[in-house]
Amino acid sequence: MRLEIGNIFIQDIQFGAETKVENGVLYVNKEELLAEIGGDERVASIDFDIARPGESVRIIPVKDVVEPRVKVEGNGGIFPGFISKVDTVGSGRTHVLKGAAVVTTGKIVGFQEGIIDMTGEGAKYTPFSKTNNLVIIAEPKEGIDQHNHEDAVRMIGFKAATYLGKAGKNVEPNEVKTFETLPLLQQVAQYPELPKVVYVYMIQTQGLLHDTYVYGVDGKKIIPTIMYPTEAFDGAVVSGNCVSACDKNPTYVHMNHPVIEELYERHGKDINFIGCIVTNENVYLADKQRSSDWVAKTLEYLGADAAVVSEEGFGNPDADLVMNCNKITDKGIKTVLLTDEYAGQDGSSQSLADSTPKADAVVTNGNANEVIVLPKLDRVIGHPEAANVIAGANHESLREDGSIEAEIQVITGATSEVGFHYLTAKGY
């Protein structure tokens, strides 16, 4: 499967009379956008704002971040199973408004939501301090339950990103990148001298607002399945979860998956990147056993020499991570794990809920319990009082002067800032 990504560099977002891209500026017609995303009876009001890199702006609580994209050539459309039909995506050409993002906020859904600071200490830890953000403030009607609230805001974000993405359909990209994965036997034959590497793509699927979707299907309902890596770039995997902000992969991260991008960068040089296995992180032991069995079995069937395994979330999913590691290693397949740590504020606590001596190559994204102070900023979009209840904070986190003292886990997308160079850990 071959996909061209046409990046259209966006330097600014402004409201205007017409939604278009011109000279690196994304102009947005607010009335048209509202007509496109409005009408959900679960939502009481929708408003818009803009947050640019370097501005003294805080967005809180952040629900999701989505990148505007549009299919120009090839099968299907962006966000299959939600916005587009469930056609297989990942081929042809997709245009991206690179440097722009849709950020959803409003009254808190669940305590595990996050913060984006566009400047100051917090901006160092989130990739979204570097994007031009169209912020959608969607306030729910009184009395709706949390799941309906989350679903309504999630769909608003997807619709907005789809609407904005269309502005780039007929724009000549500033750069075009090509990603290709051949059918398995052809892929193996392309670089027979290089180790065959598969990415094990663990997604958060614990329920209770901890959900991720694959082609519109709740990840709890799938068994591990093979996926062309390029499918992720067209929105085949999307976030629907409110897991701790630094652990959560917002939809933007799935669409710009840094592990997949880095493995493609290494492909043909020192590895043969032959594909992905998407697997879940469920609550019940039988589900964990079933999924980890299928992951190891599928890797063996593919003839993989090595696997890179990343985890979304922490605590309960640590058991899935360790099960995958043990069973993959038992198949004689080298394994590298990618995770973050919850090692206590002083860094001396047990950092993972489970462990194994077979995990002898682990890449850490840092300690999420590290305490930081976010300075007072001039403007807050959303609800600043959420700073006292989100995961990683406490009832005294929001200070009288508007600054926030909390653990780094309150920052949206904090762990996605890490550079990925795992395979050198075991001499691949």
Active-site amino acid positions: 242
- List, in order, residues 6 or more apart from 210 with CB less than 8 Å away: 204, 241, 242, 243, 313
Joined tokens for residue 199: 């990415």
Q: What is the DSSP letter of 1?
A: -
CB 94, CB 78: distance < 8 Å: yes
CA angle 334, 337, 343 (to 5 degrees): 145
Count Cβ atoms within 10 A of the Cβ of residue 29 and give its class: 0-12 exposed, 13-18 middle, 19 or more buried: middle
How many residues in the chain?
428
CB 320, CB 311: distance < 8 Å: yes
CB 82, CB 155: distance < 8 Å: yes
Q: How many other CB atoms are there within 10 angstroms of residue 130's CB atom?
A: 14
Joined tokens for residue 190: 């392309």
Joined tokens for residue 424: 């050198």
Which residue bears the tokens 């849709």?
102
